[in-house]
Structure 1
Amino acid sequence: MQNETELLKFLLPESLIEYFHIVSFENIESTLHIHFEEKNTIPKELSSFSLQSKGFLPEITVDDFPLRGKSVKLHIKRRRWTDVKTGKILQRNWNLIADGTRMTLDFA
């Protein structure tokens, strides 16, 4: 039998399930709010850098397709990385992820 993660890929953008943890969710009136935090995994495109996770960028909210007659708001916290050699702040290239998914370039 497949697990819950596989089921969620049918209901939510697959890239969210792959790159983020669901931290919490709440049903407020007619809106489902789902809160995500990016996993603490160094992005492949940044693997040549010596990186350290340094918290999150400001949360963004994305409207997703309704589920069971409820509007859906995805609250997403993207991770930021610091190059320990230069001190430069880096993040995953979301343009690569958004291409070919239900995620829009507004997210990236």
Structure 2
Amino acid sequence: MKHKEVPNKYEFFASFFLPNGMLDWFDIVRIEEETNDGTKKFDGFFSTILHIYLDERDNREGETLGLVPNGFTEPTTIKDYPIRDRKVILHVRRRRYKDADGRSIILNHYPLKSDGTELSVEFGVFLKDDPR
């Protein structure tokens, strides 16, 4: 059995339920559970909806780039694997920075969504490979 040191037990546990590598780039800032009234298309199957809110970590490589944090982008909504009869929606905010000229920039581009969908990459591959 592989043993791994875990600085945060909750992050270790959450890593089993979130897309691969998500906690390398983002912090969980809030989790909400919403009772599903079943009125949304294709949502009637799920009794509740789990909303997981994630903010990008400050992953700058030192201050040599001269970038200053400048808030977050509007959240991107990503549908992920259901967890225990709960539809899962990730709300991901990317970190913005200002450069020395005052322009707003985003540093990294992560593979968060499957091309042309609102699904996480892993969930999109899973559904694409489904032989139905």
Please state which band the TM-score falls in when normalised by the shorter chain: 0.7 to 0.9
RMSD between aligned residues: 2.4
Partners of 1:17 and 1:105 in 2: CA distance? 18
Shift >4 Å, 4+ stretches: none
| Gap regions ≥5 residues in structure 1 | none
Question: For structure 2, which runs of at least 5 residues remain unmatched after alignment?
Answer: 36-47, 121-132
Greater percentage in helix: 1
If the length of structure 2 is used for normalisation, what is the TM-score? 0.63
Residue 93 of structure 1 aligns with an amino acid whose one-letter code is N
More strand by percentage: 1
TM-score of the aligned structures, taking structure 1 as reference length? 0.76
Preserved CA contact (<8 Å) 2:76 2:93: yes
Aligned to 2:104: 89
1:61 to 69, 77, 89: 77
- Contact in 1 for aligned 2:71/2:96 (Cα 8 Å): yes
Percent identity over paired residues = 29
Which runs of structure 2 are paired with 1:1-108 in the superposition (5 Å)?
A: 2=6, 3-29=9-35, 30-42=48-60, 44=61, 49-83=65-99, 85-94=100-109, 97-98=110-111, 103-104=112-113
Q: Which letter maps to 1:62? A: I
Q: Which has the larger radius of gyration?
A: 2
* Deviation, structure 1 residue 38: 1.2
Q: What is the total number of aligned residue pairs between the two structures?
A: 98
Contact 2:26 2:57 in 1 (8 A): yes
Q: Which amino acid aligns with 2:106?
A: Q
